[in-house]
């Protein structure tokens, strides 16, 4: 059987790999000039590894996913730490823990750490956002200082995400074509299409646009060995930047005795950033989800939508991989495709 996978990010790469390992021929296309989707990373002129589309920190409790990806990379343990910078310049631990509460006062936590940040991040008031979004960042009663305090597996791929995804795609049954946008006529040549393109775009936006937030990244290098008190600093002011990341503080992101590279993030609507879709918007009323479901309902029989833009879901990397493994394995079983 011949399959087309649209998008060479985590979702597409994992599905392509599973199909290829089952003996099928898989074509992977991506509109960008690189694989790894929004996890793409590269090394800058100072020898420092940058995640082009913002910091990607792998964390999960899912052993299966951790071990699956471990076939394609050596994992290096890394526990992410974040500080919030108060408007007077003091740094406090995030997620908010006992000590942070002691410093700012428990009653002020939402207004200091969540209200302004979420407004600039999502372009809407906190109340208009589905609470699941801010619940990603817990408020704790203990002294834990980790950004992902509850996850058993926290690590970075030793040679970067791009190399890991290249390794996933490195199979004789898989052919990858970059700079190749999806074209409906292309799918005719395939038995099934796994499609990570924005689902509303596939249907020519006939039920309306699904909103996304995007980020503008500003990267600069400073003549300092180290600049920040933790890898990432979140800003509590009311804008426009949300956070800054110092890449060198992540293991295997480059050694440079004299310089450090920082990336600042400024959220915006995706239409203001070259239609770069990063975050599906989970509104409190579920209006966006309803529009998505209308599109989903019309999915052609020979197509499966995958990934953040295909499923319109705020998937973390481990969730994208888990979902992709389930989709591929169910497909192979249910279609009883001969191998
Ligand atoms: N959030 C916040 N203040 C922070 C960090 C997070 O209000 O200092 C909220 C905000 O709405 C954000 C969400 O929690 O979009 C999820 O944060 P996370 O750090 O998980 O976002 P990601 O790393 O995926 O951008």
CATH architecture of 2-78+157-210+282-334: 3-Layer(aba) Sandwich (3.40)
Q: How many angstroms separate the CA atoms of 323 and 230, rounded?
A: 32
Measured from the CA of 236, which atom of ligand 1 is nearest?
A: 8
Q: Is the CB of 215 inside a 6 Å radius of any atom of ligand 1?
A: no
Q: Is the CB of 264 inside a 6 Å radius of any atom of ligand 1?
A: no
pLDDT at 91 over 50: yes
Can you tell me the mean pLDDT for 227-240?
Answer: 97
**pLDDT tens sequence across 293-306:** 999 999 999 999 99
Q: Residue 82: which of 287, 246, 214, 209 has the closest Cα?
A: 246
CATH 3.40.50.720 domain position(s) in the chain? 2-78+157-210+282-334
Q: How many angstroms separate the CA atoms of 294 and 49, rounded?
A: 40
The predicted pLDDT at position 338 comes to: 46
Q: Is the CB of 261 inside a 6 Å radius of any atom of ligand 1?
A: no
With bands split at pLDDT 50, 70 and 90, how would you rate the model's confidence at 336? low
Measured from the CA of 147, which atom of ligand 1 is nearest?
A: 19
Q: Whose CA is nearest to atom 20 of ligand 1?
A: 136
Ligand 1 centre to CA of 314 (Å) is: 12
pLDDT at 205 over 70: yes
Q: Is the CB of 38 inside a 6 Å radius of any atom of ligand 1?
A: no
Q: Is the CB of 235 inside a 6 Å radius of any atom of ligand 1?
A: no
Measured from the CA of 84, which atom of ligand 1 is nearest?
A: 8
pLDDT at 155 over 60: yes
Q: How many angstroms separate the CA atoms of 56 and 74, rounded?
A: 16
């Amino acid at each position: 059987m011949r399959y087309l996978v649209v998008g060479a990010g985590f979702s597409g790469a994992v599905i392509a790999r599973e199909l290829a390992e089952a003996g099928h021929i898989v074509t992977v296309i991506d509109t960008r000039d690189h694989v790894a989707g929004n996890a793409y990373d590269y090394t800058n002129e100072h020898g420092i590894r940058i995640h082009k589309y913002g910091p990607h920190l792998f964390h999960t409790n899912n052993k299966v996913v951790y071990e699956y990806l471990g076939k394609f990379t050596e994992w290096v343990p890394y526990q992410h730490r974040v500080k919030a910078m108060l408007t007077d310049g003091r740094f406090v631990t995030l997620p908010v823990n006992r000590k942070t509460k002691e410093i700012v006062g428990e009653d002020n936590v939402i207004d200091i750490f969540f209200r302004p940040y979420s407004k600039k991040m999502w372009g809407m008031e906190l109340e208009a956002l589905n609470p699941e979004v801010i619940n990603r960042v817990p408020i704790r009663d203990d002294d834990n200082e980790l950004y992902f305090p509850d996850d058993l597996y926290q690590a970075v791929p030793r040679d970067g995400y791009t190399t890991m995804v290249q390794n996933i795609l490195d199979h004789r049954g898989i052919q990858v074509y970059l700079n190749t946008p999806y074209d409906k006529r292309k799918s005719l040549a395939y038995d099934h299409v796994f499609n990570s393109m924005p689902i509303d775009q596939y249907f020519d936006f006939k039920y309306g646009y699904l909103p996304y937030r995007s980020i503008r990244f500003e990267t600069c290098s400073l003549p300092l060995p180290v600049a920040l008190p933790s890898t990432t600093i979140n800003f509590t002011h009311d804008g426009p930047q949300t956070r800054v990341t110092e890449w060198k503080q992540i293991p295997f992101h480059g050694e440079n005795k004299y310089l450090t590279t920082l990336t600042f993030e400024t959220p915006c609507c995706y239409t203001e950033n070259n239609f770069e879709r990063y975050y599906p918007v989970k509104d409190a009323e579920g209006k966006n989800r309803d529009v998505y479901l209308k599109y989903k309902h019309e999915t052609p029989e020979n197509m499966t939508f995958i990934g953040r833009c295909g499923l319109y879901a705020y998937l973390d990397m481990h969730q994208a991989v888990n979902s992709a493994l389930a989709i591929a394995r169910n497909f192979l079983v249910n279609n009883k495709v001969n191998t």
